[in-house]
Structure 1
């Protein structure tokens, strides 16, 4: 196998939108090309920083008498997805404050700020790394665990960074990554 520059990619968002949130019970996607169920709603524009996916693995060394490390044991694992929605819309408001805290009428939206715990909801992020690849991340149980500060000024968008922690599903997986790659064949 030789180097192939056509396999190099960047995290470019899918045209028409890239970050979606579902409802409890939304059907899980199983590939990168089947359209998402209508229960998934688009956040809208995300800031130019895009999405940051972080994985943390903590471990502990077990040492023998004399100081040799004889075993390293993983003590924790955590995966997060962080991004800043920059549209002011009901989908973003409900994701950040909960459905029960957002009411929408013709031309009006009211958001109640409180400490009510937010539910775990499915999250989908879609990118097009290069001309032959579509990459879809599916987080079955995403929980909003951190919101950044909101700046009210005349130069920054009115978004705040949202960090979602990916909770393990029934199979112990925090996320699934599905790719459609034109021309990819199984290795022999």
Structure 2
């Protein structure tokens, strides 16, 4: 694929999940992927289906203006940056429960699972989100240090899935990066 100088509808896509799953979580120490196509470390476990809302990624930058005498804004300084992502797993399985309540609070036995609710702080963990935007692209979002910061309400009714919306902070890794976005694109060639 040469340098693009016109519109190309084949580059347009939507955030569809891979059929094998979209949200994968592991404990600290798992090998973090560095591209969109290498097989995930087996320590990553699929969280199962997510609600139809999919996964939202939010970046926030706050800034402060420096104003000169006379009222001109002469400089804008970034004062903070943070990134987070939110989704609602809708399967009731041990991987989701451990991500939501912590490994020590989930006991799994043959035919039953017990989940204990308490204020214990949850550890950081790596999370990988996998999508297939279009027929020629696979996109992988890698969050090396995710920390659960908020849980939504559980709605117990006859029409909504029994999932809780989960919000994770993407914390800076040892290079200062909060998330890595990798794309495998059929036909894309290296630029000179």
Tell me the TM-score normalised to structure 2 length.
0.97
Structure 1 residue aligned with 2:118: 114
Match of residue 172, structure 2, among 168, 171, 182: 168
Structure 2 residue aligned with 1:46: 50
Distance 1:149 1:61 in 2: 38
What's the RMSD between the two structures over aligned residues?
Answer: 0.6
Residue by residue, what CA displacement relative to the aligned partner does 1:62-93 show, whole Å, maximum 9, x if unpaired?
11111111110000001011000000000000
Higher alpha-carbon deviation: 61-70 or 127-136: 61-70
Distance 1:119 1:70 in 2: 42
Instruction: Give yes or no for the alignment of 1:183 onto 2:187.
Output: yes
Per-residue deviation, 1:146: 0.6
Distance 2:84 2:10 in 1: 29
Instruction: Give yes or no for the alignment of 1:2 onto 2:9.
Output: no
Distance 1:167 1:24 in 2: 13
Distance 2:94 2:71 in 1: 58
Distance 1:11 1:160 in 2: 21
- Unaligned regions of 5+ residues in structure 2, if any? none
SS of residue matched to 2:53: coil
Per-residue deviation, 1:106: 0.4
5 Å matches for 1:92-111? Answer: 92-111=96-115
Per-residue deviation, 1:16: 1.3
Per-residue deviation, 1:187: 2.7
Instruction: Give yes or no for the alignment of 1:128 onto 2:132.
Output: yes
Distance 1:186 1:27 in 2: 27
Structure 1 residue aligned with 2:29: 25
Structure 1 residue aligned with 2:95: 91
Distance 1:132 1:69 in 2: 45
SS of residue matched to 1:94: helix
Structure 2 residue aligned with 1:62: 66
Per-residue deviation, 1:52: 0.2
SS of residue matched to 1:6: helix
